[in-house]
Amino acid sequence: MKTLFVVSGGDAPGINAVMGYYAALATRYGHEVAGARDGFAGLVAGRIVPLTGDVIGPWVSQPGSYLPSSRVPVLKDAEGQQAMADVLAQHDIDNVILFGGDGTLRYIPPIVAQLGIPCIGLPTTIDNDVPGTELTLGFDSACNFAYHAIDGALATGRALPGRIFMVETLGGFSGMIALDVAFGAGAHAVLVPEYAYDDAWLGARLLEAAQRDGYALLVLSEGVAASRTLFDDILRWTNIRVRDIRLGHAQRGGIPTHRDRSLAAQMARLSFEALNADVLRGTVVVRGGATLLHEGALDGPERLPDVSRYNFVNGFDPDYEPARN
């Protein structure tokens, strides 16, 4: 059996761990593994490289992706799909393991499966916004990275009172990272793209927190519409020093945590078993806390930040129903 890895979209901590564990398993059972460089853009151009456990092994603990990814929609027309079919045939690829987020896992597996080539999807994005799974690979590491930054800032927050810290997380159009981090870090307020907030409420809340606790901590997601202008607004509303920390892509490059490495190991084992059992299409998901293979198309409700946590961070009012943005 020859399996091809393709990474599409944003990289996430833990991808290399899946590759390393899978390659080790495949080698042990006498199978081959190859990888597409540069995602599907590289695949259709024939950039296929062999992968063995000893090549990928040293990368297991590293964030990012040994195989570079891309976000180019090369499979949107018949020409691109034919080019992919040709390359898969030329390289004797029996099946594909696809690493990606919501867009990738929704649109690509049916195209690959149409060729009769089994395809197992692995939800890999720090954003944790893939419907059908409670957890995506990389989310835990990205949250942990944020705690390091917040803990550092709050050392000064406590030692030298009189500051409002704004910590901006990644997350694209999703507030899952910002909300979980705000909850876990005991933030005074959180802003996520999904829920509306009021300027006067935010200003008063931060001012009150800074006067009471000596500092205020606001966590916000990069997808919040006003994220670029809030710094000046908060200073104007409160007249307290505002300190702005944007985690940016450094957050996506956090060291894979224990939880992500465990999930990576399970993803490797379950996808290896599924491909050995000739499952045509499936996704490794986390449901009810258990990691399992979901066969067929992946679906599920839109992933929204948990309102009860949002209310807890933003005012301890469990009955408050925030307006959707």
Q: Which residues are catalytic?
A: 127
Tell me which stretch binds ligand F6P (CB under 6 A): 16-24, 50-58, 119-127, 184-192. Answer: 119-127
| Beta sheet of 241-246, edge-to-edge order | 189-191, 215-221, 163-169, 241-246
Nearer to ligand F6P, 142 or 279 (CB): 142
Contact 48, 35 (CB under 8 A): yes
**Among the listed residues 147, 189, 132, the one whose alpha carbon sits nearest the alpha carbon of residue 309:** 189
Q: What's the rounded Cα separation, in Å, for the pair 153 and 143?
A: 16
Buried-exposed string 70-86: b where 16+ CB fall within 10 A, e elsewhere: beeebbeeeebbebbbe
**Least Å from the CB of residue 5 to ligand F6P:** 17
At 168, is the secondary structure helix, strand, or coil? strand
Nearer to ligand F6P, 39 or 157 (CB): 39
**Least Å from the CB of residue 50 to ligand F6P:** 27
For the chain, the first-to-last Cα distance in angstroms comes to: 48
Tell me which stretch binds ligand F6P (CB under 6 A): 123-131, 151-159, 234-242, 314-322. Answer: 123-131
**Least Å from the CB of residue 238 to ligand F6P:** 28
Pull the structure tokens for residue 278: 């000739």
Q: What's the rounded Cα separation, in Å, for the pair 23 and 146?
A: 31
Residues within window 6-45 making contact with ligand F6P, judged by CB under 6 A: 9-10
Candidates 3, 8, 70, 125: give the one binding ligand F6P (CB under 6 A).
125
Q: What share of the chain is helix, strand, coil (3-state, %, to 5)?
A: 45, 20, 35
Candidates 120, 126, 176, 218: give the one binding ligand F6P (CB under 6 A).
126
Q: Tell whether residue 127 is a contact of ligand F6P (CB under 6 A).
A: yes
Nearer to ligand F6P, 3 or 251 (CB): 251
Nearer to ligand F6P, 42 or 101 (CB): 101
Total binding residues for ligand F6P by CB under 6 A? 11
**Least Å from the CB of residue 148 to ligand F6P:** 17
Contact 95, 33 (CB under 8 A): no
Q: Tokens 């090549």 correspond to what residue?
A: 55
Candidates 252, 261, 294, 303: give the one binding ligand F6P (CB under 6 A).
252
**Least Å from the CB of residue 106 to ligand F6P:** 15
Residue 319, exposed/middle/buried by CB under 10 A (0-12, 13-18, 19+)? exposed
Residues within window 132-191 making contact with ligand F6P, judged by CB under 6 A: 170-172
Nearer to ligand F6P, 7 or 34 (CB): 7
Interface residues with ligand F6P (CB under 6 A) are 9-10, 101, 125-127, 170-172, 222, 252
